Structure 1
Amino acid sequence: MTDSRERHELRNTFEKTWALAWPVILANLSLPLLSLADAAILGHLPDPVFLAGVTAAGSLMAYVFFGFNFLSMGLSGFTSQAMGREAYSDVLQVLKRYLLVASVLIVLTLFAHPWLIQAGVWLISPPAGVAEQSTLYLQIRMWGVPAIVLNITLLGFFIGMQNTRVSLYSLSLTQLMNIGLNALLVFGFDLATAGIAIGTVISEYLGLLLVLWHLRRTLLELTPKSDPDQSTLSFRWSDYRPIFKVSRHLFIRTFVLLSSFVWFNRLTAEFGELALAANGVLLAFFTLISHFLDGTAAAAEAQTGHAFGEGNPQRLKQIWTVSGILNLGFMGLLSALFWLCGNLFIDVLSEQPAVIAYAEQQLRWVVLLPLSGGLAFWLDGVFIGARRSKDMRNSVVSAFVLFVCLTLLWGHNHSALWVCFNAFFAVRSVWLLTVFYKKLWP
């Protein structure tokens, strides 16, 4: 009877995990469609400067997305644990506090945006014509920062509420509207770079409206269950100290993680344009890895926090077993897919024979990436749910220090750099796994 009950609980846990994971995976897989559509739209214009300008500026906007991701991760952990405790007043209180913090950051970003744009364009140092288009694009996109930051923050709230479908709905609407508006503004109104930027900003606010509509429905369910006196927004520093403590660790973790990619590409550039172009193709494989494994991470994140709030170690063990096995399955699947079909993917991503040949030489290291770094993705989700942000920070900082040392000592060719890059993710995985078994496993 006990074995039958355990099998039933594990099956229910798998169904719950998959129900939380697949919307995130599907939403993530839709993200490259916008870049492809923008490239196709601008690629039909007579001057390549428009495409070059938007591409260069787009890489800078990616830092905005990733830079504010700590808000999503932190709010998700607090929300899921409060839901596990059935402390609905705490859910509303922490949501209000995070929205206040997000609002302050939005105001500061908008105030500083002229200097941020100037510094960003200087950093990438494009030709004069490209710099002009990049600056125009960024000046317009900055007015979408409120929508970007609020979307990121609120989607973390919905992950904590175990409602990952909101992310799918929001991203789907944003992507479809963005593609349509961009095509209309570029071809119908002849706006080129400005059209791409304006269409993107409008679609971001439309996506935010959809998220706010879902938020309203959720608040209508939560408010009757909460105590109005305990749900009122407070401004005491002691109430915000846990948020800033978690956010500080997550921000450092995100910054160092981004720095690892910058360092990797910087060293690759020393081997020439061909190596750098091949890196651009091969890192698209990493994007695919993150798109898939973020799904299992989000599922582990939401359920871990909820079970921690309940104080249910047996439930935690079931969640980690099921989500961990699912993550291992994706790791093996992706590695096998890259091994069997990697050459085909490279052919799709590039039409230049020299780049294709160079990328194929380094493909073996990409095949190893899901195996070396896959556990780190899943454990990030576990640690966010458990609110162990300091351990996440330590794993990335330690791995980055080792990564830099290895590249300085051994990074004498491109293959060696890719070995070091795999080592960076392997160290993260081993570090987090060790802490997981020592401090979290029941």
Structure 2
Amino acid sequence: MNRVVPALAAVCALGLAATACSDATGGSSGAAPTGSVNATASLKGVKLTMWVAQNSVGEPKQAIDAFEKATGAKVTTEVIPDPYESNVPTKLASGVKPDLMFWQPTGSTLPFIQPQTNLLQLDNEDWVSKLGKTEQSLGQVDGHRYAAIVTSPAVLGVYYNKAAFKKAGITAMPTSYDDMLADAATIKAKVPGVAPFFEVGGDKWPLQWQVQAQLTDLPASFWDKLNKNQEKWTNPVIVKAITTYKSELLDAGLAQKNYKTATFVDQGKALLDGTAAMALNVTSLQSEIQASSNTAEMDQKLGWFPIANSTATAEYSPDQTNGVVAFKSGDSKRENAARQFLSFWLGKDYPAYIKANKIVSVQPAAPNPAGLPQTAIAQSKALSSAVGVFQVKALTAPDMHLALADMIYGKKTPKQVAQAAQDQFTQVLKARGVAGF
């Protein structure tokens, strides 16, 4: 799933010596030597540890099995309990470190594990140039690469039930957020018993996406100023987006009746069985539906389209399964073995890896595997022109979904949701010692 980091908890849990809440840059660079790697060179006797989340434990299995067979190395996965994004910094603060780890490769999340101090630099690895444009932009902090991108970032867009759209007479996909709301109103009027949208208040994290899609017209200058404490999350555009979600979608009856308590699993079921017409969510919803369906059924029943505030553009939202980081251990054999594993994973093994996991490729030269649902192919095509969500653009990503959950229960107004985001944003960046805060 595409959750976000509980920001302040992660910052202050990582109490590594005296650097608990600062941007420490001490230690060796961990920079990689230039030149290609022999990805299948013998590593007999070398043991590596990789941390994974509960929902990503199976993700690296194919790559690990193939690497062990090719090199003689042993890679052991260790599951870090949920919430992964806050438990990882806590475990690191205890002095325990893995050799490799799944981690969200964004500028708002990489700093929580102090990459300059803890991670190997991956600037010169032989797989970097193979990545697609969007994937190449990820995994970097202060001009250096610290994460390998092994899967495409989640793509945010709208899954829709084809039969519901047909019954409503909708033949052209909406090209703006307002168009989409208008189509939702048409579905409500013309297709009784079908909820125009399925919203997920029970799991909270998907609540952010309706707001995120409306923030796409904010210029890059806004995010630059926000990151310098010259702009605020209480900007009228953000407050309006939150207000629109509340008043024009939820209060207008365009979501299912149990939107306050419904779950992510419920969302996939409702979309597939046609009791909901649309779901605005990221790629993890597709994975959830695939687990209980198949490509033929999905292609028959479901479609997907990109949406932004004023255009038919998708957004991308990295999660912890997209990035793999390698830690400085002081043991050159293990560090070099970790680099070799990444070179193997994103090199010789990559076609087999994406085929086994039934996912799209992060490398333009490596074609997508056969048999993917059309929703996945549509998302892959949309990625090259997609824009980043605020987890990509902001120095730290506030837990807006938690404040939105308060809003749907009447505990916060839209303005208070925006203020909560601003308060947390400031608090975290102050704790990290970022200039201007």
* Range into which the TM-score falls when normalised by the shorter chain: under 0.3
TM-score, reference length from structure 1: 0.23
Normalised TM-score (structure 2): 0.23
Could you say which structure has the higher helix fraction?
Answer: 1
